[in-house]
Amino acid sequence: MEVLRLHGAKDVRVHQEPEPVVAPGEELVRITAVGLCGSDLHWYEDGGIGESVVEEPLVLGHEMGGVIMCGPREGERVIVEPANPCGHCDVCRAGNANLCLDVKFCGHAPIHGGLRTLMSWPQRLLLPAPDSVKGDDIALLEPLGVGLHGIDLGHFKAGMSTGVYGSGPIGLFIIRALKAMGASRIVATDAKPHRVEAALASGADEAYLTTVDGQPEGFGDIAKVDVGFEAAGEDAALESALINAKLGGRVVVVGIPPTNQHSFPAKLARGKGLTIAWSRRMKALHMLRAIEMVDHGIVPLDGLITATYPLNEAARAFDDLVARNGLKIIVKPTE
C-alpha cells in the first residue's frame, strides 16, 4: 500500500509498505479522504508541534473517512474518530476524554494518521456516515466537531452576539454553527480576502479584512460581542477577540499558535474581567452532534472544499496549506 510520511520540516515522501496488521477489536479501513488542518501545517512547516517533534517518519492526517474492507461491516462508509483515549483515568471518567494524557491520536507522534491507503483502527471509533454526507465531505465532520466544542466552551446561548477571529475552515464552521444556533450577530475577520468573503457566505453579518499584526481601524469601536472565538492561531487574532469582547465577556482560544505560546495585553483582559477558555480538540459527543447536525441539514458542508490532491501530490497540498490558499484542502489516498 502507499503511505505518505513526514520525515522532517517540509519533507514528505510516499512509501510502498505492507498492509497494516488488524488487531482484535479493530477494522481495516480504506481511506478515501483526509482533510489538512492547522496542526498538520505546524508539523509540516516545523517538523513538530509544541513539544512534540518528528523522531521517526510520521503519517499525518486526522480529519478523515473511508470504507471498511472486511468483516460484518464490509463496505460501510465511516467517519474516523481520531482520538482513542484510555477511558479509565480521572479526566476520562470525569467526561473530559479530550484531555486524556494517555490518548492515542491519529497523526500526532507516535500514532500514525490517515495519509495512507489503508489503516487499522478500533471498531468503536468508526462512525457510520449518513447518506447525506457525500464523497469527500466525509473528512469535514471532525473539524465541525472541533468548532462545536469551542462553541460549548463559550457558554453560547441563542441571542448572543459573537465574533470569530480567523475565518479558515474551523472559523467558518463556527460561523455556520453559530448561525444555525441562533446568534443575534456574527462578526468575523481574516487576513485573506477570499476568507472574508467565505465568512459572509457562511452566515457572518459583518466580515473585515485585517492583517497578521493588527485589526481594521475602528473595528473595536463597533464590534463589541458577548463571546469571541480566536480561530487563527495568531496573537493579533487573540488581541482582536479581547478588544472586541464586552465587559465580563468570554473568549475561546481555538487556534494553535506556531510558537507554542501566546502573548496578549494582560491589562486588556483583566480590566474587562474576561474569561478566557482554551479549547483542545473535542469530546466524542461533539463528533456525534456534528454528524446529526449535518444529517438534519442544520449545518451545511457545501463550498468548503476548494482543492483535492492524490496522495502522490500531497507535497503540493501542503504548500497550498502553508500559503493558506483556498479553504479546506483534501488529500485522497484512494477513490
pLDDT over threshold 60, residue 32: yes
CATH number for domain 144-278, candidates 3.40.50.720, 1.10.4190.10, 1.10.10.10, 3.30.70.580: 3.40.50.720
Return d(Cα 142, Cα 104) in angstroms, integer: 16
pLDDT at 213: 55
Query: Taking residues 49-70, what's their average pLDDT?
Result: 91
Strands 275-278, 245-253: parallel, antiparallel or unpaired by DSSP? Answer: parallel
pLDDT digits (tens, 9 = 90+) for 146-189: 999 999 999 999 999 999 999 999 999 999 999 999 999 999 99
Residue 221 confidence class, pLDDT cut points 50, 70, 90: low
Element (H, E) at 240: helix 235-244
Amino acid, single-letter form, for residue 189: T
pLDDT over threshold 80, residue 218: no
* Alpha-carbon torsion angle 134, 137, 138, 139, nearest 10: 170
pLDDT at 25: 94
Query: Taking residues 281-295, what's their average pLDDT?
Result: 95
Give the residue from 227, 208, 217, 215 showing the smallest Cα distance to 167.
208
pLDDT at 264: 87
Residue 335 confidence class, pLDDT cut points 50, 70, 90: confident
pLDDT digits (tens, 9 = 90+) for 306-318: 999 999 999 999 9
Strands 206-209, 225-230: parallel, antiparallel or unpaired by DSSP? Answer: unpaired
Return d(Cα 248, Cα 229) in angstroms, integer: 15
Query: Taking residues 213-217, what's their average pLDDT?
Result: 59
Sign of CA dihedral 119, 125, 129, 134: negative
pLDDT at 27: 96
- Return residue ranges of the chain for CATH 3.40.50.720: 144-278
Q: Return the C-alpha cell found at 308.
A: 483535492
- Return residue ranges of the chain for CATH 3.90.180.10: 2-133+301-332
pLDDT at 33: 98
Query: Taking residues 228-236, what's their average pLDDT?
Result: 92
pLDDT over threshold 70, residue 88: yes
Return d(Cα 97, Cα 104) in angstroms, integer: 11
Q: In the predicted model, what is the mean pLDDT of the chain?
A: 93
pLDDT over threshold 90, residue 222: no
Provide the CA 121 distance to its chain's centre, in angstroms.
Answer: 20
Return d(Cα 143, Cα 286) in angstroms, integer: 10
Query: Taking residues 243-252, what's their average pLDDT?
Result: 94
Q: Return the C-alpha cell found at 48.
A: 513538530
Residue 103 confidence class, pLDDT cut points 50, 70, 90: very high
- The percent of residues in the chain predicted with pLDDT above 70, rounded, is 96
Q: What is the pTM of this model?
A: 0.93
Element (H, E) at 248: strand 245-253
Strands 185-190, 161-165: parallel, antiparallel or unpaired by DSSP? Answer: parallel
Residue 215 confidence class, pLDDT cut points 50, 70, 90: low
**DSSP single-letter state for residue 181:** T
Query: Taking residues 224-233, what's their average pLDDT?
Result: 94
Q: Other CB atoms closer than 10 Å to residue 155's CB: what's the count?
A: 13
Contact call for residues 258 and 42 (beta carbons, < 8 A) = yes
* Fold (topology level) of 2-133+301-332: Quinone Oxidoreductase; Chain A, domain 1 (3.90.180)
3-state class (DSSP) for residue 317: helix
Q: Other CB atoms closer than 10 Å to residue 118's CB: what's the count?
A: 21
Return d(Cα 133, Cα 156) in angstroms, integer: 26
User: Exposure pattern of 42-57 as b/e (b: 16+ CB <10 Å)?
Assistant: bbbebbbbeebebeeb
Higher pLDDT, 132 or 211: 132
Residue 210 confidence class, pLDDT cut points 50, 70, 90: confident
**DSSP single-letter state for residue 125:** G
pLDDT at 214: 56
pLDDT over threshold 90, residue 49: no
Query: Taking residues 222-243, what's their average pLDDT?
Result: 89
